[in-house]
Chain A
């Protein structure tokens, strides 16, 4: 067992009274005061998250774009400089090693952000796929911290952070799933307009040494704008409402992208890519759906989804009482025959059958 790791912001979290939990080998803030209050703040004003546990890789070289077309499921060569794209790292058998966001920093220069718990597997796969290609892949995770500011007030808050200068694109022109460059205390800062909450917001990639100062500056900028520090508990209910998958729950090595509703991420007509020819799910393979129930009693991950007569036809991957909607929601893998909602479905909540309705994802969509 290796020792738990902490991000550069550990002392900040402790000073704010955070409770910590293990996540992917990292000790991360699960909540500061109230996970519900933190959730609601992100929907109504803004929240700030330390997501420095996430892994970052640089992909640089004249063959970088072609390499990514081969190494990932999408066609990253078609991504414009300045934009970001959600993608998947597949295994040869079409299973999912991780889901990632790719940022095109230049013609021959990309950044990949992956999940903390998959850092070693991602690095290993990315390096193995460089053979014979003009590309250099580097794991730069330890050099950077990542701070997310999410919510309707995020732009106003980030724009007011003292010490951010040299912004490449005016705030109002920065689009979702794009990035701008800037400096913080004279060092490069990446302003990525991405997130994992279903709200507008930014993910700020900053030198690890400057993370604490940037965190303080962001909290100061947000003091009059409803910004609260938010932990992983809120992050999880926010992403669940937004219908966003979490690796290890909706995504794993045994599941093909189309089963998780991510068939669109795979560009099958590319000449060659890892997983090509293996991405079609087996006949009858379970598919991911959204389920909504009444009352306040939530189905949880690993609870069974059953029919009226108790036959197990699926399993919940994530579930909670939705703080925003006020009723239970869940994502679940179910037999394809029942995915259309034609058969009454129930959540088996510790022996009690709770009626559930098949619901299109996401459960929550922000107003533009």
Chain B
């Protein structure tokens, strides 16, 4: 189980786990619950580059469509094929098996993102 206190968060409900010069990105349990059962996830191809705030994909539930916003600048190095095959992983394990993409990042990529306490406060706002 991921220690949620080690993650960084965006106000758009993505989380980032940094591991050296790469980072794993997913959406939070709060976002997954708000969307409902996720039935389709569209993710960018490996090699795609984006900047913080760019739309990098989509998550669809039975009732709604939500764009995924990049929480950091980065280039996609891996996508989670398991979540493409079984989008319900985003609901059942948003911080673990339901991760979305891995990206290469530069130093300081998560500067300015929220820590766990600030994110929780944001969702309770």
Contacts and interface: CB of A to CB of B under 8 A. Distances in A.
Contacts, number: 43
Nearest to A300: B65
Interface string A318-345: 0011010000000000000000000000
Nearest to B34: A19
B36 A35 contact: yes
Nearest to A21: B63
Contacts of B28: none
A30 B63 CA distance: 10
Contacts of B91: 34
A323 B62 contact: yes
A16 to B, nearest CB: 15
Interface string B60-85: 11110100000000000000000000
Contacts of A35: 36-37, 61-63
B36 to A, nearest CB: 5
B113 interface: no
Contacts of B61: 35
Contacts of B33: 19
A236 B42 CA distance: 24
B63 A321 contact: no
A233 interface: yes
B40 interface: yes
A12 interface: no
B61 to A, nearest CB: 8
Contact of B40 (A34, A37, A236, A298): A298
Nearest to A295: B40
Interface of A is mostly: mixed
A256 interface: no
B109 interface: no
A13 interface: no
B39 interface: yes
B62 A321 contact: yes
Nearest to B38: A36
Taking each of B42, B58, B62, B88, which has the highest tally of chain A beta carbons within 10 Å of its own beta carbon? B62
Contact of A31 (B36, B40, B42, B58): B36
Nearest to A34: B37
A297 B63 contact: no
Contact of A233 (B58, B60, B63): B63
Contact of B39 (A31, A36, A236, A300): A36
B37 A236 contact: no
A350 B57 CA distance: 12
A34 B92 CA distance: 11
Nearest to B88: A36
7 contacts: A35-B37, A37-B37, A233-B62, A236-B63, A296-B39, A297-B40, A320-B62
Given A35-B36, A233-B62, 10 more contacts: A30-B36, A34-B36, A35-B61, A35-B63, A36-B39, A36-B88, A298-B60, A321-B40, A321-B62, A350-B65
Interface of A: 19, 30-31, 34-37, 39, 233, 236-237, 296-298, 300, 320-321, 323, 350
